[in-house]
């Protein structure tokens, strides 16, 4: 089993407890991060009718509900939203929550979507699980319309500049894996999480990779002691 298959299988196993675990380990703050991401993206896109949003690594469909809710609140007509994920277990949970949404089993690096057919692509807390990350960004650029947006929310690794940064690091390494393991009964999955952040995820790295794919970062900001970063990039 390759690395990507192992990751998918791990998410199949924790699908049932994934939503509640996320809420607990982020202390509920991920709700405000998601709302902010949707609101800012709608503001940058400046269209009142949006034919298609695709949420990649959609998991249990959490981010889709935020796109829908914020579209209503902003008076935006969101015609179609699609969830894409390689984990069947996660999408089974999503389908129960969102029976009206279309879900497609697929990885991020090769999506069954037409060229220039999507207005906004989002991936929240999923890009660290994509092994072929540059290929995924190239794929996002392929399926996005010109001036379309990529919206990424992710845990990021930052230089430790002050005492708060050390507290954040301690929480991510020591507390979060234990909380996740306790709720999900899967220690491996939540030990993997902080390790996966360590490997590559800095704001500079991600911005550089987006640019290489022809996606120009227009907004990059860390939230909550830089635990989470929001990237919004436009296809140029």
Give the start-to-end residue ranges of the domains of the chain. 3-7+29-159+201-235
Name 180's Cβ contacts closer than 8 Å, sequence gap at least 6.
Answer: 21, 25, 186, 189, 190, 193
pLDDT in tens, 156-197: 766 556 676 666 666 666 666 676 666 666 666 666 555 555
Which CATH number describes the domain made up of 3-7+29-159+201-235?
3.40.50.150
Least confident of 133-147, 148-162, 207-221: 148-162
- Find the angle CA(117)-CA(132)-CA(55) to the nearest 5 degrees: 40
Query: How many residues are there in the chain?
Result: 236
Over residues 146-158, the mean pLDDT reads 88
Q: How far apart are CA 236 and CA 230, in angstroms?
A: 19
Secondary structure (DSSP) of 130-177: -SSHHHHHHHHHHHEEEEEEEEEEEE------SHHHHHHHHIIIIIHH
Which pLDDT band, with edges at 50, 70 and 90, does 148 fall under? Answer: very high
């Amino acid at each position: 089993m390759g690395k990507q298959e192992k990751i998918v299988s791990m998410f199949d196993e924790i699908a049932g407890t994934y939503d509640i675990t996320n809420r607990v380990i982020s202390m509920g703050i991920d709700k405000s991060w998601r709302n902010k991401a949707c609101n800012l993206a709608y503001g940058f896109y400046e269209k009142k009718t949006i034919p298609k949003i695709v949420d990649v690594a959609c998991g249990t469909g959490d981010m889709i509900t935020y796109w829908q809710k914020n579209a209503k609140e902003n008076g935006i007509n969101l015609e179609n939203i699609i969830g894409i994920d390689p984990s069947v277990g996660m999408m089974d949970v999503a389908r129960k929550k969102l029976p009206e949404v279309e879900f497609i089993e697929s990885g991020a690096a090769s999506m069954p979507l037409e060229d220039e057919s999507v207005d906004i692509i989002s991936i929240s807390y999923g890009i660290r699980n994509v092994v072929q990350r540059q290929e995924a960004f190239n794929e996002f650029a392929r399926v996005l319309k010109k001036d379309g947006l990529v919206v990424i929310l992710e845990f990021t690794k930052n230089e430790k500049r002050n005492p708060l940064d050390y507290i954040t690091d301690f929480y991510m390494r020591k507390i979060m894996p234990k909380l996740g393991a306790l709720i999900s009964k899967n220690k491996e999955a939540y030990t993997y999480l902080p390790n996966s952040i360590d490997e590559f995820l800095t704001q500079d790295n991600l911005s550089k990779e987006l640019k290489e794919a022809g996606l120009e970062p227009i907004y990059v900001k860390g939230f909550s002691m830089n635990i989470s970063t929001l990237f919004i990039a436009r296809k140029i």
